[in-house]
Structure 1
Amino acid sequence: MPRPSNTEERRQQIVLGLLRVMSERGYERASVNEIAKAAGLSPGLVHYHFSDKQEILLVLVEQLAARARERVARRVARIAPEDARGKVEAFLDAFLATGADADPSAVAGWVTISAEAIRQPEVRDAYEQVVRADLEHLEGLVASVVGKRRARALSVGLFAAVQGYFVLSASAPGLVPSGSAAHTVKQMAAGLLDTATAKEGA
């Protein structure tokens, strides 16, 4: 396997530098100097590899989305093909469960990105693409349980709960009991799926 180029390594250092600063102080306070310091590089190298701070942020959106999708794919792949409910739970676990592969700085970074999506059209476009793809994935899993007609509304509600937990855990971490997010949202999902399935059968 070829070794990443020096340029790729430097760009990755810079993106992770932005994530570190942003998860602690927000995007507004993530100056190029602060990003460079967190990356262990000079500000000149940051300017050399990226045209501006927003370009770094857009790369970070792509990388966080890819990491989350890998986590989802790993967890869903462990579930038997015929266990449609198990796949919904695995999806929710991938986003909310704590454990060795949990990444609080990524959650904090994602919350900051969602706030920037309100202010910056380019970030909004990137954010919406990620959310749309993740929501479509969840909708497909939910549809396997309750059918297509009810899947969209249920999926949006569950995904909103996931995003709400992200905001709470990043903004007021003391409010969320450790390990409760995945358990609670999976209970919500079970109740919603049971109700929808009962209505389909009625």
Structure 2
Amino acid sequence: MPTKEARRAPADKYDERRNQLAESALQTLGELGYARTSLREIANNSAFSHGVVHYYFSDKLELIIYCVRYYKARCVTRYDAVVAESTTPEELLDAFAAKLVETVQEEAAMHRLWYDLRTQSMFEEKLREAVLMIDATLEDMIWRIVTRYAELSGRPTSMTPHAAYGVLDGLFQQALLGHLTGSADAVDAMAAQVHALMPLMLAPAVDAAGG
């Protein structure tokens, strides 16, 4: 009787190896950035030879796009528990801010790579489709937070998904920059700003008299 391994489709094994290469490459990419990373550099910092890397990815651009898609596919579920488990607007704000702080502190290199690629996509046309797709999924992720906060607050949001994402992403990017350049209070300031800004995304309250 064939073993489970023997029954696996070649395509599954191919995708599994590409995922392994992505895991290995992400650290190098996060440390060196888009411009300074080559397939050979990735191979030199991994358990895979340059020939193996080149077999699964035709060039650096293909590998980088795959890596970021692979990483962001996990990121977009990061706040699902915040949405599902929060029962008050204050609880949601606390959990959301804490999760933002955690990801800046623990995964700064990956976020730095993302912002690097997003900037590069303004010049590198081949990057744009992937960057726009990933950006849209991140916008959806943030919108789930904003709309849940509005629901718990009992007031509609006054923002569009695009505007809400722009505000919070800009705040996150500034905190990341501060964290990477040694600012001791960058992440705490971000958390405080999340608490200050989120209420401003709600429509004005209407008093009982309708005024």
What TM-score results when the alignment is normalised by the length of structure 1? 0.76
> How many Å separate the matches in 2 of 1:85 and 1:114?
32
Question: Which segments of 5 or more consecutive residues in structure 2 lack a partner in the other structure?
Answer: none
The answer to whether the 8 Å contact 2:65/2:130 transfers is yes
Which residue among 173, 188, 191 is the counterpart of 1:163? 173
Where do 1:53-202 residues align within 5 Å?
Answer: 53-80=60-87, 83-84=88-89, 86-87=91-92, 90-94=95-99, 96-98=100-102, 102-144=106-148, 145=150, 146-152=155-161, 153-170=163-180, 172=181, 174-177=182-185, 179-180=187-188, 182-193=190-201, 196-197=202-203, 199-201=204-206
Superposition deviation, residue 40 in structure 1: 1.4
How far, CA to CA, are the matches of 1:137 and 1:88 in structure 2? Answer: 15
Task: Report the Cα offset of residue 6 of structure 1.
Answer: 4.8
Post-superposition Cα deviations, 1:91-134, rounded to whole Å, max 9, x if no partner, equal: 4543x2227x9323322322322232222223222222222222
The answer to whether structure 1 residue 24 and structure 2 residue 28 are counterparts is no
Change (3 A) 1:73 1:165: same
Could you tell me how far 1:73 is from its partner in structure 2? Answer: 1.6
Alignment of 1:32-51 (within 5 A): 32-51=39-58
Q: Using the TM superposition, give the Cα deviation of residue 29 of structure 1 relative to its aligned residue in structure 2, in angstroms.
A: 1.4
- Partner-residue secondary structure (3-state), 1:175: coil
1:88–1:142 Cα contact (<8 Å) kept:
no
Misfit runs of 4+, over 6 Å? none
Write out per-residue CA displacement over residues 56-115 of structure 1, whole angstroms, 9 at most, x where no aligned residue: 1111121221221232123333323xx355445544543x2227x932332232232223
Change (3 A) 1:93 1:151: farther
Contact 2:97 2:191 in 1 (8 A): no
Q: Residue type matched to 1:185 in 2?
A: Q
CA–CA distance in structure 2, aligned partners of residues 190 and 117 of structure 1: 30
The answer (yes or no) to whether the contact 1:75–1:91 under 8 Å persists in 2 is yes
Change (3 A) 1:63 1:181: farther
Root-mean-square deviation over aligned CA pairs = 3.0
Q: Is the 8 A contact 1:92 1:186 kept in 2?
A: yes
Residues 126/87 of structure 1: CA separation in 2 closer, same or farther (3 Å cut): farther
- Is the 2:43–2:50 Cα contact (8 Å) retained in structure 1? yes
- Give the number of the structure whose alpha-carbon radius of gyration is greater: 2
Question: What is the percent sequence identity of the aligned residues?
Answer: 22
Distance in 1 separating the partners of 2:136 and 2:91: 22
- Read off the aligned partner of 2:136 and give its amino acid letter: R
- Relative to structure 1, the CA distance from residue 131 to residue 87 in structure 2 (aligned partners, 3 Å threshold; closer, same or farther) is farther
SS of equivalent to 1:119:
coil
Q: Provide the C-alpha distance between the structure 2 equivalents of 1:79 and 1:182, rounded to a whole number of angstroms.
A: 20
